[in-house]
Structure 1
Amino acid sequence: MKSSCIALMIMGAFSSAAMAEDFIKLTGKAEIGFHAFRENGVSKREFQDAGSELNVVGQADIGNGLTALLQVNTDVKLDNSKGSDHFANGDTFVGLRGDFGTVKLGRGINAYGDGYFKANFYKYDISPASAGIPSGGGDNRGAFKYEAPLLDGLALSLSYAPGKDKTESSRATDAWAVSGTYEKGRFGMRLSQAGQSSVDGRSKQDTLLAFKLQPQPGLTLSLELDRARNESGQRQFASATYAEYKPARLGLRAGYLTASDAGFVVGSRQRTALLGMDYDLSARDSRFQARLFLEARSDKLDGAERKRDLIAGVHIGF
Structure 2
Amino acid sequence: MKKTLIALALTTLPVAAMAEVILYGQMKAGYEVSSTKTSGDSHGPYQNGIADYGSRIGFKGSEDLGNGLKAIWQVESAIHLGNSNGKADGWANRDSFIGLQTDFGTIRAGRISNAMKANMDVVDPWEYNNEVLGLGKFTRTGERYVGIAYDSPEWAGFKFNALYSPRDNVNGGNRNSEYDYGMGAGDKYSVGLNYHNAGYYAKYGFDYLKNSAAMISESGYTKLKDGQVHRLEGGYDANNLFVGVGYQYSKNTSSYFRGLKGASISVGEQGTMNVGDHNVTWDNQGQEAALTLGYHFNNIFPKISYAHGWNVKINGTKEQNTKYDQVVLGTDYDFSKHTTANIQAGWLREGNGHDELNQSKGKNKTTAFGVGLKHSF
| TM norm structure 2 | 0.71
Q: Which residue of 2 aligns with 1:118?
A: 123
Post-superposition offset of 1:45: 2.3
Counterpart CA distance in 1 for 2:241 and 2:116 is 25
**Cα distance 1:298–1:14, how it changes in 2: closer, same or farther (>3 A)?**
farther
Q: Sequence identity, in percent?
A: 21
Which whole-Å deviations, capped at 9, do the CAs of 1:185-228 have from their partners, x for residues lacking one? Answer: 121111221111118453011111111223x5111101111011
Matches for 1:82-97 after TM superposition, within 5 Å: 82-97=86-101
Q: 5+ residue gaps in structure 2?
A: 1-8, 37-42, 213-222, 254-281, 352-361
Q: Which residue of 2 aligns with 1:230?
A: 252
Q: Which residue of 1 aligns with 2:158?
A: 154
Counterpart CA distance in 1 for 2:323 and 2:105 is 42
Post-superposition offset of 1:275: 1.5
Q: Does 1:300 align with 2:303?
A: no
**Cα distance 1:32–1:122, how it changes in 2: closer, same or farther (>3 A)?**
same
Q: Which residue of 2 aligns with 1:8?
A: none
**Cα distance 1:41–1:105, how it changes in 2: closer, same or farther (>3 A)?**
same
Q: Which residue of 2 aligns with 1:74?
A: 77
Counterpart CA distance in 1 for 2:23 and 2:159 is 27
Q: Does 1:312 align with 2:325?
A: no
Matches for 1:118-267 after TM superposition, within 5 Å: 118-123=123-128, 124-126=133-135, 129=138, 132=141, 134=143, 136-137=144-145, 142-163=146-167, 164=170, 168=174, 169-170=178-179, 171-198=184-211, 200-214=223-237, 217-230=239-252, 232-262=282-312, 266-267=319-320
**Cα distance 1:259–1:237, how it changes in 2: closer, same or farther (>3 A)?**
same
Post-superposition offset of 1:66: 0.9
Note the aligned Cα RMSD (angstroms).
Answer: 2.8
Post-superposition offset of 1:236: 0.3
Post-superposition offset of 1:32: 1.6
Which structure's CA Rg is the greater one? 2
Post-superposition offset of 1:274: 1.1
Q: Is the CA contact 2:124–2:135 (under 8 Å) kept in the aligned structure 1? A: no
Post-superposition offset of 1:19: 3.5
Q: Does 1:270 align with 2:347?
A: no
| TM norm structure 1 | 0.83
**Cα distance 1:146–1:83, how it changes in 2: closer, same or farther (>3 A)?**
same
Q: Which residue of 2 aligns with 1:35?
A: 32
Counterpart CA distance in 2 for 1:76 and 1:21 is 24
Report how many aligned residue pairs link the two structures: 296
Letter in 2 for 1:291: T
Counterpart CA distance in 2 for 1:263 and 1:240 is 20
Larger mean Cα displacement after TM superposition, 261-270 or 243-252: 261-270
Larger mean Cα displacement after TM superposition, 154-163 or 192-201: 192-201
Counterpart CA distance in 2 for 1:149 and 1:13 is 36
Three-state SS of the structure 2 residue aligned to 1:173 is: coil
**Cα distance 1:270–1:236, how it changes in 2: closer, same or farther (>3 A)?**
same
Post-superposition offset of 1:263: 8.5
Counterpart CA distance in 1 for 2:139 and 2:374 is 28
Q: Is the CA contact 1:131–1:206 (under 8 Å) kept in the aligned structure 2? A: no
